Amino acid sequence: MSEIFLDTETTGLSYKDGHKIVEIACVETKDLIPTNNVFHKLINPKRNVPEAAFKVHGFSEKFLSEKETFDRIADEFLSFIKGKKLIIHNANFDLEFLNGELGAIKKNLIDKILVIDSLEVARNKFPGASNSLDALCKRFNIDLSRRSKHNALLDCELLREVYINLLDAKEPRFNLSSAEQEPSKSNNEEKIYNKKVLKISEAELKGHEGFLKSELKKNFY
């Protein structure tokens, strides 16, 4: 099954307070293995970007003013995620903004039944611990050196690594029904076994038959 790791960046903490999305990223995987299909858009929020938000993601109002507005990218976004499981960290935050933006332009909303909240998965696995994306990356020794600012696309990539660790699925899962599945190798070396066929001579065969007859007489008669 295909999954989408999804993340957004915004101008603030609540859509109800008039804040908007400034970045959406979606990374598609198949059984948690990247397919190289990516949806990534920077968005003009048509409002100012508070200093606090700028410090988080680094997108200024002037920079974003040259980007497309949400209504221009909504159909492409919905087409990309259609029929796929969505994996989002702290999903309630992203869904409030996404469904707020979608509802404002009378588009179909994202159904929560399609969403896995990795924050809830982490809280169940590590109750009482800090389960932010940063904290989980540190717990699983995932490299955060590229994350000087919040970036939705990078966060999707980090979330995939975190989610694999949360599931204890550290090795990629392969579809064994695939005709292109490669045989496994040990220590990256392919072991080759040669089969040698031995032919028995007629004299050896007769001798073996005689041995069997004598042994059968001894043991059973």
Catalytic residues: 150
Q: Which residues pair with 116 in a beta bridge?
A: 87
Determine contact, residues 41/68, Cβ cutoff 8 Å: yes
How many CB atoms sit inside 10 A of residue 145's CB? 5
Determine contact, residues 101/19, Cβ cutoff 8 Å: no
How many CB atoms sit inside 10 A of residue 191's CB? 7
Residue with tokens 């990218």: 73
Residue with tokens 């404002």: 104
Q: Is 48 helix (H, G, I), strand (E, B) or coil?
A: coil
| Residue 195 identity | K
Dihedral angle of Cα 20, 61, 27, 80, to the nearest 10 degrees: 60
Cα end-to-end distance, the chain, whole Å: 66
| Residue 54 identity | F
Determine contact, residues 152/40, Cβ cutoff 8 Å: yes
- Would you say the C-alpha torsion 217, 218, 220, 221 has a positive or negative sign? positive
